[in-house]
Structure 1
Amino acid sequence: MPLLNWKRSSVTRQTGAAAEDVALAHLQAAGMALVTRNYRTPGRGGGEIDLVMRAPDGTLLFVEVRARSGAAQGGAAATVGHVKQRRLVHAAQHYLMQHATPPPCRFDVVAIDGDRIEWLRGAFDAG
């Protein structure tokens, strides 16, 4: 990998990790409990779930965190398209194989646009 791409990739990872920290603190302040962070499915083409959280009522939240410097061109939430949703659903299905009886679940997005945080509950469904 060329040095410039490596640096850009490293900065992107740092920015993503910082956004996840902000989202995690926001969700915990709202009463959600962290189950796991950065859950990855095995193999190529798999998916990653940024945060798996549990709501006080037992619902399992699969949370995608997106950050942009501003809300231009639809903002951070608009970047969770159909392909990303499909990968998240696949990763969630893989994660749920660990449970004999899967709990109620939903897919949330935490969109960070500059200093603005928006928590989109039930942003999309598995169908």
Structure 2
Amino acid sequence: MRRIGNGGEEAVVRWLRAQQWQIVARNWGCRRGELDIVAYSPGGVLAFVEVKTRRPQNWDADGLEAIAHRKQQKLIGTAQEFLQAHPQWHDSPCRFDVALVLYQPSPVGGCYRVHQYLEDAFTVE
């Protein structure tokens, strides 16, 4: 299952780079958790991107339901630690984005497609 998730993250990185985003970090971890992708937008926003990769006909709205309040709080805490560890980004405007990726299995490895990209998917309370 981790292999499928890695493929989804790679698809999102390619998608972001195609839109001129700078990838700042991938799979950045600390004691609180892990950030899938940290990217800097052409508009000057630092985005903490949570990637959810699912097969068609999944049970959780293509991964959207997996970003419940508890997961959001974990991501917020992890992002705060990232900013403490990387003070050069401390004054940048930040937001939390969610990338939903659909994975279609096939005999030759499968196909990944960024199905939905939700900017500012949730806010810090």
* TM superposition score category, shorter chain reference: 0.7 to 0.9
SS across alignment from 2:7: helix
After the TM superposition, which segments of 4 or more aligned residues of structure 1 sit over 3 Å from their partners?
A: none
Answering whether residue 34 of structure 2 is matched by residue 75 of structure 1, we say: no
Q: State the TM-score, normalized to the length of structure 2.
A: 0.82
Kindly indicate whether the alpha-carbon contact (under 8 Å) linking 1:76 and 1:113 is maintained by their aligned counterparts in 2. no
Q: State the TM-score, normalized to the length of structure 1.
A: 0.81
Q: Which runs of 5+ in 1 are unaligned?
A: 1-11
In 1: Cα distance, 2:80 partner to 2:114 partner: 31
Between stretches 28-37 and 108-117, larger displacement belongs to 108-117
Deviation sequence 1:45-83 (CA, Å, 0-9, x none): x11100000011221000000011025432222211111
Displacement of 1:19 in angstroms is: 0.6
Which residue number corresponds to residue 37 of structure 1? 26
Displacement of 1:102 in angstroms is: 2.4
Which residue number corresponds to residue 103 of structure 1? 92
Cα distance, 1:111–1:71 mapped onto 2, change above 3 Å: farther
Cα distance, 1:71–1:80 mapped onto 2, change above 3 Å: farther
Q: Which has the higher helix share?
A: 1
Deviation sequence 1:2-43 (CA, Å, 0-9, x none): xxxxxxxxxx2111111100111111112211001001113x
Kindly indicate whether the alpha-carbon contact (under 8 Å) linking 1:55 and 1:61 is maintained by their aligned counterparts in 2. yes
Displacement of 1:118 in angstroms is: 0.7
Aligned length: 113
Kindly indicate whether the alpha-carbon contact (under 8 Å) linking 2:5 and 2:53 is maintained by their aligned counterparts in 1. yes
Give the aligned CA root-mean-square deviation in angstroms.
1.6
1:1-127 aligned within 5 A:
12-42=1-31, 46-73=32-59, 74-97=61-84, 98-99=86-87, 101-114=90-103, 115=113, 117-127=115-125
Kindly indicate whether the alpha-carbon contact (under 8 Å) linking 1:71 and 1:113 is maintained by their aligned counterparts in 2. no
**Sequence identity of aligned pairs in percent?**
32
Q: Which runs of 5+ in 2 are unaligned?
A: 104-112
In 1: Cα distance, 2:66 partner to 2:81 partner: 23
